[in-house]
Structure 1
Amino acid sequence: MLHLSVQTILRRASAGIGIGFVLAATLPFPTTAQEHMPMRIAVEGAFPPFNYLDANNKLQGFDIDIANAICKVGEFECQFIVEKWDDMIPDLVARKYDAIISSMSMSDERRQKVAFTERYYNSPSVFIVRKDSPIKDVSPAALTGKNLGVTSSTAQQSFAKHLYPQTHETVFRSSPELYKGLSDGSVDIILEDKLAIYDWIANTKAGSCCEFRGPDLVDATYFGDGSGIAVRLDDSERLARLNAALKSIKADGTYDMINAKYFPFSIE
């Protein structure tokens, strides 16, 4: 069984880097260096139900379970690093970790900076409003002048910036803050990954205030072809090994078991 424990706290003084910390995964691997590849995995830890810190400060969620399964099957020696979303791609490129398994959509813009595995799940984006909202039409023209909430450095923010320029955009640092902004009336409407917010709407008292509005958004230019694991562009060996491990957990039923733990429908 996987055991996660806090190993160290990384304090960063330079502006924009923020505070991260490392959680090491003690896995039942032999120590043969030729067979087992070390891998530091970046995860946000603030995107339930995909990745979050529980009351004991341990990482939980769909992304974490998928990462653990891949680490076991792919014979990786894995260490999780909790990091600010905005810093993930720059710090991956700077070799501060080796992979990002944090519900990162494979947009065209990101593909210029990092390489992605095959998709490990797919989710459309969607607008969400309070149930008493008069907003019925979510077209760019209809939302002119409305306060639209998005999360910083996400595909949803990029989509809104380019296709909804006449809205008043409010940028939140994390998904929980985005949801609170909608429920307390700080914004009129938000744009979010549909699966990410599903649990909040369906299973929490706070989320009962709100509902989806308008069609699912599946623009590949901004949202890519689902979510993948990101590695550096030159890390072809790790990319191939991750793809093989991902294929394996889908073939042996592990993926389906993890899927069923979080969603009553397939997200593959």
Structure 2
Amino acid sequence: MKKILFSLTLLLSSFAFAQNQPLIIGMELAYPPFEMSDENGKPTGISVDMAYALGEFIGRDVIIEDMAYGGLIPALKTKKIDAVISSMSITEERKLSVNFSKPYAKSYLAMLVNNKSGITKSSDLNAKGKKVAVKKGTSGHTVAEKYFPNAEILVFDKESAIILEVSQGKVDAFIYDPLTIYKNWSKNSEATTPLLEQFETESQPWAVAYRKGEDDLGAQIDDFIDEYKANGGFNKLADKYLGEERAFFKEKNVPFFFD
């Protein structure tokens, strides 16, 4: 009996210790308005607000760790962070390494093409001599290899470098989500064109990634997503950060992240 009581006490103490520890959330602060920094270098955006709301829901302080997108899952696996909230889509490959919460948003992939590329529809990109730029570690990277095997795929770490390549005509197209495509087209409309058609068969669900074996945290995250959605939290974030873009998507009959 003493052994059982000791084991139970140790288990409860471990749980209480974990609850008192800050929740370290990893994200790359380079995808406005979801993940970004304000003029003072402070994390802000939809994912940041969501992360702090999650911490409040489960009773833990939140620390935001900014890191390169490709390093998020390795950091999660090596326990440098506790979860990833970084507009990360669920893929079969990622599911081999980490667990995912319920989806909280969804997106799909679109293209930004150079006006002189001759590309008017997505299938035009799947040809020898065509060059497609993708950001390392993103769904666009994986999907490009599947849908455009005949094109040359160029992998970049920074979105800004890709946009420069497309606008200068050094690559024919950039594959990313439609919000990013829309924003970069609006800044480079003389040299580029957005192709918002959905060339994939399915949308890309976004979710919170957490370590395998940490089912208690996963259940808490799922409960948070359910309650936050029911209380209109995601719609409030969209109104706060994406009012103009949401109206544009509706006008063009393009699916929106939280629809």
In the superposition, the TM-score normalised over structure 1's length comes to 0.78
What does residue 197 of structure 1 align with? 181
What does residue 227 of structure 2 align with? 248
Query: Percent sequence identity over matched residues?
Result: 26
What does residue 193 of structure 2 align with? 211
Q: Structure 1 CA distance, aligned partners of 2:140 and 2:213?
A: 28
Q: Structure 1 CA distance, aligned partners of 2:103 and 2:189?
A: 28
2:257 aligned with 1:267, yes or no?
A: yes
Residue 76 (structure 2) aligned to one of 92, 102, 116: 92
What does residue 109 of structure 2 align with? 125
Greater C-alpha Rg: 2
Find the residue that maps to 1:57 and give its secondary structure: coil
What amino acid sits opposite 1:122 in the alignment? K
What amino acid sits opposite 1:212 in the alignment? P
Deviation at 1:146, TM superposition (A): 0.7
For structure 1, the residue ranges without an aligned partner over 5 or more in a row are 1-31
2:54 aligned with 1:70, yes or no?
A: yes
What does residue 19 of structure 1 align with? none
Deviation at 1:142, TM superposition (A): 4.7
Find the residue that maps to 1:109 and give its secondary structure: helix
2:92 aligned with 1:108, yes or no?
A: yes
Q: Deviations over 1:57-90 (max 9, x none)?
A: 1112221122122222232211111111111111
Q: Structure 2 CA distance, aligned partners of 1:172 and 1:136?
A: 24
Runs of 4+, deviation exceeding 6 Å: none
More strand per residue: 1 or 2? 1
Aligned length: 232
Find the residue that maps to 2:235 and give its secondary structure: helix
Flag the 1:162–1:34 CA change in 2: closer, same or farther, 3 A: closer
Flag the 1:85–1:160 CA change in 2: closer, same or farther, 3 A: same
Q: Structure 2 CA distance, aligned partners of 1:192 and 1:34?
A: 37
What does residue 129 of structure 2 align with? 145
RMSD after superposition: 2.3
Residue 167 (structure 2) aligned to one of 183, 187, 193: 183
2:205 aligned with 1:226, yes or no?
A: yes
Q: Deviations over 1:103-133 (max 9, x none)?
A: 1110111111111111111111012113454
Flag the 1:164–1:39 CA change in 2: closer, same or farther, 3 A: same
More helix per residue: 1 or 2? 2
Flag the 1:141–1:207 CA change in 2: closer, same or farther, 3 A: closer
